């Protein structure tokens, strides 16, 4: 089985503050005020954004090698070309776990920074807020790449278009650039986590309906998510009108999946990497990997940029998620890593047992491991 696909390397000042401060100093009861301020600052700096800023400053101070100017670094491909001919941006803003009231600002920041690829899903419960920002944006729809995903409860052929229409309505668009089967498992409509054995065993009926929606113009490209090699082969053993455009999977330093990456390249299937910096609990550890820090010092870029650049250089689309403006901007800047450093990082990633974080098999009470233990 081989897919036809080519890659395109393509400070506010209060005028009365002085007077107020003088009055406060005359009152000995107010002398505790500076201590209160210090306490508040300490608490604020315990937060993740501030802590990461401090760690970043310490990181640069610890670099003892000459740093290259990033303007001299080669850029990595900004897009890949899918079988349809559509060009998909190589870095996206992922909005998984971005809560209401946060996701809108994150998307707004991303669009301003130059992102044109937003990766979402119906189950993330934030598509409406994303849509509101897109509507208010000056970025034309045709310049955006919007992805959503079909949730497990909607695999019955009669439910698929209704589920898609919900996402389209919330996002404020009449088509999606990419629609994925979120998981290779289907639940029955009448209950949560009650598996539909037929549709789980054979995703072809779901795929046929998605193909119809491509023909209707509601979707431009269709793909899969969290499929391993065996499950991909089960799907593509059927006579498909449209081959999967991408497979979105957990892919990072701790779970590099070299076998899946190699097989996918050999068969022309593009991988998308979610959690590219690791899960929330792994991010700090990812940014502290010695090889990552060494490359960052050498190139004059941040450890996060090293990991995201490495992921793009592996030939994958990368979906970093953040609601912090500075990190959103930082994550979009990717640079080519020298080959010897790239190989060093690849070797380091493969030197430890893989650590998969996202596996809902037990939580969903499935009678099997959705990843077949891989």
As to burial, measured by CB atoms within 10 angstroms (0-12 exposed, 13-18 middle, 19+ buried), residue 237 is exposed
Strand blocks (E) in 151-269: 178-181, 222-225, 246-250
Q: Taking a C-beta distance cutoff of 8 angstroms, is the pair 81, 6 a contact?
A: yes
| 305 closest CA partner among 67, 33, 116, 17 | 67
Q: Can you give the C-alpha Rg of the chain in angstroms?
A: 23
| 261 closest CA partner among 278, 239, 246, 282 | 246
The residue count of the chain comes to 374
Helix residue ranges per DSSP H, 216-317 = 229-236, 258-266, 283-287, 290-299, 303-313
Euclidean distance between CA atoms 288 and 179, whole angstroms: 35
Euclidean distance between CA atoms 197 and 195, whole angstroms: 6
Euclidean distance between CA atoms 181 and 152, whole angstroms: 8
Strand 178-181 versus strand 222-225 pairing type: parallel
Euclidean distance between CA atoms 107 and 64, whole angstroms: 36
Active-site positions? 124
| 246 closest CA partner among 334, 149, 166, 372 | 149
Euclidean distance between CA atoms 21 and 313, whole angstroms: 55
């Amino acid at each position: 089985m081989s897919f036809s696909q080519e890659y395109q390397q393509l400070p506010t000042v209060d005028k009365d503050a002085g007077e107020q401060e003088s009055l406060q100093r005359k009152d000995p009861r107010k002398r505790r005020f500076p201590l209160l301020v210090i306490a508040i600052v300490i608490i604020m700096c315990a937060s993740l954004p501030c802590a990461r800023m401090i760690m970043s400053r310490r990181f640069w101070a610890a670099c003892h090698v000459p740093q290259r100017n990033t303007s001299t670094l080669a850029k990595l491909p900004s897009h890949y070309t899918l079988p349809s001919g559509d060009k998909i941006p190589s870095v996206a803003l992922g909005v998984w776990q971005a809560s209401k009231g946060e996701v809108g600002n994150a998307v707004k920041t991303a669009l301003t920074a130059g992102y044109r690829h937003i990766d979402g899903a119906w189950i993330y419960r934030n598509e409406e807020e994303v849509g509101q920002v897109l509507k208010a944006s000056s970025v034309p729809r045709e310049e955006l790449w919007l992805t959503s995903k079909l949730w497990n409860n909607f695999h019955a052929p009669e439910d698929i278009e209704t589920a898609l229409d919900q996402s389209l309505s919330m996002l404020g668009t009449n088509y999606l650039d990419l629609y994925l089967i979120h998981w290779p498992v289907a639940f029955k409509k009448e209950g949560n986590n009650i598996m539909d054995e037929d549709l789980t065993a054979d995703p072809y009926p779901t795929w046929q309906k998605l193909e119809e929606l491509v023909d209707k113009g509601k979707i431009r490209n269709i793909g899969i998510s969290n499929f391993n090699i065996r499950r991909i082969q089960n799907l593509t053993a059927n006579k498909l009108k449209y081959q999967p455009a991408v497979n979105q999977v957990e892919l990072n330093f701790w779970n590099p999946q070299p076998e899946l990456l190699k097989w996918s390249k050999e068969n022309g299937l593009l991988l998308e990497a979610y959690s590219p910096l690791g899960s929330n609990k792994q991010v700090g550890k990812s940014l502290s990997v010695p090889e990552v820090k060494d490359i960052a010092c050498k190139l004059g870029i941040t450890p996060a940029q090293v990991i995201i650049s490495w992921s793009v250089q592996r030939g994958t689309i990368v979906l970093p998620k953040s609601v912090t403006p500075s990190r959103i901007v930082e994550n979009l800047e990717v640079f080519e890593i020298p080959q010897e450093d790239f190989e060093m990082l690849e070797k380091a990633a493969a030197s430890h047992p893989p650590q998969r974080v996202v596996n809902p098999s037990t939580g969903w009470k499935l009678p099997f491991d959705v990843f077949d233990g891989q």
